[in-house]
């Protein structure tokens, strides 16, 4: 029986898996756990506490917190009252936090700690009260600010008698959450998603991609404020009775993988790129024999992957995913190579789900080859989020898969992807103009350019507004070029620039976690500015860009490389919470440098002081023609 709302969906799991682990988190050096029964009890008490404070149907309550077990408890408690949860990314600066709270007209805010409490002002936002999950030792409650522990006690002492009847009357049309877009351009917009929007996406993903199981364990490390983690890393596992373990931080993900040993990992291309580059570094540093064995094992793995693509479902079901002739070789390759790589990710993964950005086909094939199926998908905040995804059987690396069975998709004459169906948002909160512009004849305009192959698999070319038009009349899709450059283990991130210019250039941020040890090993100064000004480093990064982009047409190959001494983060504003690059921020921040690069016909070293930008910078010119 299908649930009518998200709270009811979780209650089905509570009834079936009452004593199974629902949530896990690190405390005092060890992972602790909570059963589904305990999880439900805390949702009930939190809901009762919020109701005592006046939260009811239609009220908005913001959650400003890193991932932790209280996050889903509060999320579901808010929804159970017919209220609306508004997630806010913890790394956002104070002005953006205030904008989201005000834009969605929040009545209350739940923050993780006193550091995040300082980002919320009752005077500037107009909220009636703020609840602190993990107060500091010196924390002092006020009339408007108090701890989550007090809220829970209030709810436990004054249970909500009609609570079950309340959430049972919530239907699929009722607003569940307002999630603000990442805001790569302009102010973020609040996408209104109903219970039915999210439920239909959970149902479509469970049917099509990788069905969650009660025995699954997931490691939650992407921000729950982002729709991808919220749906795939929270609601999907809770719908199946799976366990969710919360990573301590992005920096501790590698360590937590070994402790939790997840069976499914929901992630973004950036993490998979890091795993890939680290493996490549180890292999390159190994003996010729090790490199030869690794290359052979990858070849065997690729033949197995090709079997997935070319075999029919009936053939795969009859003889398994590995043809008989390959089984012996595959077993040896697994023993020699695959198991060792998989062990670094916990050793139990049966699937990787990649979203939030484009995954390089080279990396996708690598993970499939080592027996870690990497299932790439595509979606938007406005579609709850998944539009298309690759299934476990007949997947196609290099595409974002097929459209979910409960959605419709078509391509506009200019190639823009248009979708409609039950997971598409009802509109943007308090923004009728943006809502009207987002739809055409009932179809949501995604802003992405796509193409379909003969088997119905979708590929995303690039953002419609990101296509670079050169003075020569050539059009450049930046995303494939940037993805290729980002495969370098020495490069953390990059952006292609060139609108209305004769040629494209690329801004790159080095991966200092690799380059600092590299410089130390050679006895060179290892602070960031010295590294980016080092001639050998400059030559290395230039070679990396040349090598990674040589397969592209000449007009898509960057003629100049600008090496920056900055690291791009969500905190400094260059990246969105989903780790996408904010192009307008980059263009504004480095506008003087970009202008100088295009003005120079020969390589120059631009001083950070002259450009009034706190970065070390070096620009190199390719030997290529325009």
Residues 273 and 381 in one domain: yes
pLDDT confidence of residue 441: 95
Residues 432 and 288 in one domain: yes
Residues 500 and 599 in one domain: yes
Residue 553: which pLDDT band, with cuts at 50, 70 and 90?
A: confident
pLDDT confidence of residue 136: 87
* Cβ(354)–Cβ(291) below 8 Å: no
Average pLDDT over residues 602-613: 33
Question: Residue 281: is its pLDDT beyond 70?
Answer: yes
Residue 375: which pLDDT band, with cuts at 50, 70 and 90?
A: very high
pLDDT confidence of residue 589: 92
318: domain CATH number is 2.30.38.10
Average pLDDT over residues 98-114: 96
Chain segment 59-69, per-residue pLDDT in tens: 999 999 999 99
Residues 60 and 171 in one domain: yes
Strands (E), 442-504: 443-452, 458-463, 468-469, 475-476, 491-497
Residues 105 and 187 in one domain: yes
Domain that holds residue 305: 268-464
Helix spans in 268-311 (H): 269-284, 288-310
pLDDT confidence of residue 462: 79
- Comparing CA positions, the residue from 146, 157, 69, 163 lying closest to residue 110 is 146
Residues 283 and 351 in one domain: yes
Residues 484 and 613 in one domain: yes
Question: Residue 625: is its pLDDT beyond 50?
Answer: no
Residues in the chain: 626
Chain segment 148-162, per-residue pLDDT in tens: 999 999 999 999 999
Domain boundary among 439, 464, 489: 464
pLDDT confidence of residue 322: 60
Q: 547 lies in a domain?
A: yes
- Comparing CA positions, the residue from 606, 582, 586, 593 lying closest to residue 532 is 606
Question: Residue 529: is its pLDDT beyond 90?
Answer: no
C-alpha–C-alpha distance, residues 579 and 574, integer Å: 9
Q: 205 lies in a domain?
A: no
Which percentage of the chain shows pLDDT scores above 70?
Answer: 92
Question: Residue 443: is its pLDDT beyond 60?
Answer: yes
C-alpha–C-alpha distance, residues 437 and 44, integer Å: 40
Three-state secondary structure readout of 35-99 = EHHHHHHHHHHHHHHHHHCCCCCCCEEEEECCCCCHHHHHHHHHHHCCCEEEEECCCCCHHHHHH
Residues 140 and 281 in one domain: no
Chain segment 173-231, per-residue pLDDT in tens: 999 999 998 655 567 899 999 999 999 999 999 887 778 999 999 999 999 999 999 99
Q: 164 lies in a domain?
A: yes
- Comparing CA positions, the residue from 452, 309, 271 lying closest to residue 378 is 452
Residue 297: which pLDDT band, with cuts at 50, 70 and 90?
A: very high
Question: Residue 319: is its pLDDT beyond 60?
Answer: no
Chain segment 14-42, per-residue pLDDT in tens: 999 999 999 999 999 999 999 999 999 99
Domain count, the chain: 3
| pLDDT greater at residue 72 or residue 606 | 72
C-alpha–C-alpha distance, residues 83 and 77, integer Å: 9
- Comparing CA positions, the residue from 379, 459, 466, 460 lying closest to residue 179 is 379
C-alpha–C-alpha distance, residues 7 and 17, integer Å: 15
């Amino acid at each position: 029986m299908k649930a009518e709302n998200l709270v009811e969906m979780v209650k089905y799991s509570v009834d079936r898996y009452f004593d199974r682990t629902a949530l896990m988190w690190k405390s005092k050096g060890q992972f602790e756990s909570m059963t589904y029964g305990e999880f439900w009890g805390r949702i009930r008490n939190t809901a009762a506490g919020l109701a005592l404070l006046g939260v009811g149907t239609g009220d908005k309550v913001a959650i400003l917190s890193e991932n932790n077990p209280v996050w889903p408890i509060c999320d579901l408690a808010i929804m159970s009252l017919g209220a609306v949860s508004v997630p806010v990314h913890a790394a956002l600066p104070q002005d953006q936090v205030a904008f989201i709270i005000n834009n969605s007209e929040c009545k209350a805010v739940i923050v993780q700690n006193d550091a995040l409490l300082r980002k919320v002002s009752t005077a500037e936002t107009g909220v009636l009260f703020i609840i602190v999950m993990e107060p500091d030792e010196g924390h002092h409650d006020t009339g408007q600010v108090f701890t989550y522990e007090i809220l829970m006690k209030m709810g436990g002492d004054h249970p909500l008698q009609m609570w079950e009847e309340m959430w049972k009357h919530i239907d699929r049309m009722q607003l569940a959450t307002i999630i603000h877009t990442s805001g790569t351009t302009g102010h973020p917009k609040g996408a209104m998603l109903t219970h039915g929007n999210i439920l239909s996406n959970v149902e479509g993903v469970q049917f099509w991609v990788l069905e969650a199981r009660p025995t699954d364990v997931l490691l939650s490390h992407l921000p729950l404020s982002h729709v991808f983690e919220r749906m795939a890393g929270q609601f999907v596992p809770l719908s199946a009775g799976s366990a969710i373990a919360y990573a301590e931080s992005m920096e501790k993900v590698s360590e937590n993988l070994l402790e939790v040993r997840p069976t499914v990992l929901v992630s973004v291309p950036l993490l998979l790129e890091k795993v890939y580059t680290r493996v490549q570094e180890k292999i390159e540093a190994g003996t010729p024999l090790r490199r030869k064995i690794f290359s052979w094992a990858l070849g065997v793995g690729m033949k197995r992957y090709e079997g997935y693509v070319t075999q029919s479902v009936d053939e795969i079901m009859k003889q398994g995913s590995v043809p008989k002739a390959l089984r012996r070789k595959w077993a040896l390759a697994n023993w020699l190579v695959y198991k060792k790589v998989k062990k670094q990710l916990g050793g139990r993964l049966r699937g990787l789900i990649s979203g939030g950005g484009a995954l390089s086909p080279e990396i996708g094939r690598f993970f499939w080859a080592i027996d870690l199926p990497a299932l790439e998908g595509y979606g938007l905040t406005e579609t709850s989020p998944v539009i298309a995804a690759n299934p476990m059987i007949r997947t196609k690396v290099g595409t974002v898969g097929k459209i979910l069975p409960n959605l419709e998709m078509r391509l506009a004459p200019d190639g823009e992807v248009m979708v409609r169906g039950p997971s598409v948002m009802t509109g943007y909160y308090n923004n009728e103009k943006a809502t009207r512009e987002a739809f055409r004849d009932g179809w949501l305009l995604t802003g992405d350019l796509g193409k379909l192959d003969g088997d119905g698999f979708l590929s995303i070319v690039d953002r419609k507004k990101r296509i670079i038009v050169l003075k020569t009349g050539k059009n450049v899709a930046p995303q494939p070029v940037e993805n290729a450059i980002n495969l370098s283990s020495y490069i953390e991130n990059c952006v292609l620039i060139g609108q209305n210019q004769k040629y494209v250039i690329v801004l790159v941020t080095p991966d200092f976690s690799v380059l600092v040890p590299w410089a130390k090993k050679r006895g060179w100064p290892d602070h960031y500015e010295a590294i980016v000004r080092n001639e050998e480093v400059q030559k290395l990064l230039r070679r990396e860009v040349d090598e990674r982009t040589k397969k592209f047409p000449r007009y898509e190959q960057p003629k100049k490389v600008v090496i920056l001494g900055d690291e791009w983060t969500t905190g400094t504003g260059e990246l969105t919470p989903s780790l996408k690059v904010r192009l307008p921020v980059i263009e504004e921040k480095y506008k003087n440098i970009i202008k100088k690069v295009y003005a120079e016909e020969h390589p120059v070293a631009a001083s950070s002081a002259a450009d009034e930008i706190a970065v070390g910078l070096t620009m190199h010119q390719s030997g290529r023609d325009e």
